[in-house]
């Protein structure tokens, strides 16, 4: 049985889900952002400018990017949503990324909770993720408030290079242990300061290159996340996990608690790993290349696969 995003007959599209422009606190214009990602070979990007009532860094409107699409490159209306109530943040604000918003989506009111804000974005049709949990010390108690989000950023490139707080895997694993089923994303959070774009992205298996198809595929978990390496094949045959990928030095299967399986070597491109003794409700796959760049599958739950 092939595992998503493979075996569906869809093309894989490369995209950034989290980035900023002049519309909020980015360093360059929306047009320049699109050009930069198109030049890197991306298929889509999301101008997720801050949506909040603070002109220092945010706008009160979702950017209408409908005029920026090209025949082979699209943008998806998005925003980084804020509301009060986050504990470890200098402004006391939550940061939640929503991709596929209507352009008339309104910023949160002063009394709106993060639960209500996320629900409102989901009801509006967006794919909603928990942004940069390590960067602003998201606690486990706080993570439990936002379990209705679709996913969590497990890599945020801007946070990784600017503060060494770019990971979200600890929070993701804690939620998985709680039985929460979330997908993973790797993003740039680009502001077009030096070197903060082109560092983390998703590969999405969608029916076509359109905003609706990409957002639907993200909600369905038909994607993987990467900072460089690529998965080419994931399948489960009986209890054997079969992995095909670009050349890497390690292939790691992570499961509940500290359970794991690994394969180490040089220029690994294929592996068959027996999961029959893995006493876990789920597993996820990480690959790492010689430069330390990684790619992550979404988590797979055995009861779903059966």
Structural domain count of the chain: 2
Cis peptide, bond prior to residue 155, ω within 30 of zero:
no
CATH number of domain containing 262: 2.60.40
- Stretch 102-116: mean pLDDT: 98
Report which of 75, 63, 72 is spatially closest to residue 17, judged by C-alpha positions.
Answer: 75
Q: Are residues 78 and 168 in the same domain?
A: yes
> Which tens digits make up the pLDDT trace of 266-296?
999 999 999 999 999 999 999 999 999 999 9
Whats the size of the chain, residue-wise? 306
Q: Are residues 266 and 185 in the same domain?
A: no
Q: Are residues 170 and 57 in the same domain?
A: yes
Residue 112 covered by a domain? yes
**End residue of a domain, out of 208, 226, 244:** 226
Distance between terminal CA atoms of the chain?
10
Q: Are residues 256 and 270 in the same domain?
A: yes
Question: Which helix (H) or strand (E) covers residue 141, if one does?
Answer: helix 140-143
Predicted model pTM: 0.97
**End residue of a domain, out of 164, 193, 226:** 226
- Amino acid 306: pLDDT: 78
Residue 85 covered by a domain? yes
Extended strands (E) in the chain: 11-16, 44-45, 50-51, 74-75, 78-81, 96-99, 127-130, 151-156, 183-187, 201-206, 223-226, 231-237, 240-254, 260-274, 282-288, 294-296, 300-301
Q: Are residues 75 and 99 in the same domain?
A: yes
CATH number of domain containing 178: 3.20.20.140
- Share the mean pLDDT of the chain: 97
Q: Are residues 220 and 240 in the same domain?
A: no
Q: Are residues 125 and 192 in the same domain?
A: yes
Q: Are residues 219 and 271 in the same domain?
A: no
Q: Are residues 36 and 180 in the same domain?
A: yes
* Domain span holding position 111: 11-226
């Amino acid at each position: 049985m092939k595992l998503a995003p493979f075996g569906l007959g869809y093309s894989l599209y490369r995209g950034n889900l989290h980035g900023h422009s002049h519309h909020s606190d980015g360093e360059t214009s929306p047009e320049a952002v699109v050009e930069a990602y198109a030049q890197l070979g991306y298929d889509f990007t999301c101008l997720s400018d801050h949506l909040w009532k603070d002109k220092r860094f945010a706008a009160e409107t979702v950017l209408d990017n409908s005029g920026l699409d090209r025949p082979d490159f699209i943008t998806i209306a998005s925003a980084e949503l804020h509301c009060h109530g986050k504990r470890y943040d200098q402004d006391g604000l939550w940061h939640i990324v929503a991709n596929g918003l209507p352009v008339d989506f309104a910023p949160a009111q002063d009394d709106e909770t993060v639960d209500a804000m996320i629900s409102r974005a989901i009801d509006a049709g967006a794919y909603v993720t928990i942004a940069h949990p390590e960067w602003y010390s998201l606690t486990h108690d706080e993570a439990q408030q936002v379990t209705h989000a679709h996913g969590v950023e497990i890599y945020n490139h801007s946070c990784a290079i600017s503060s060494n707080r770019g990971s979200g895997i600890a929070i993701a694993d804690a939620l998985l242990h709680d039985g929460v089923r979330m997908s993973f994303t790797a993003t740039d959070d680009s502001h077009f300061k030096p070197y903060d774009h082109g560092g983390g992205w998703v590969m999405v298996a969608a029916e076509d290159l359109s905003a609706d198809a990409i957002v639907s595929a993200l909600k369905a978990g038909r994607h993987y996340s990467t900072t460089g390496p690529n998965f080419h094949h994931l399948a489960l045959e009986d209890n054997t996990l079969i992995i095909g990928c670009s050349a890497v030095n390690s292939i790691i299967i992570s499961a509940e608690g500290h359970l794991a399986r690994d394969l180490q070597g040089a220029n690994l491109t294929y592996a068959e790993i027996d999961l029959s003794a893995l006493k876990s409700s789920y597993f996820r796959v990480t690959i790492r290349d010689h430069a330390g760049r990684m790619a992550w599958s979404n988590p797979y739950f055995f009861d779903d696969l059966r």
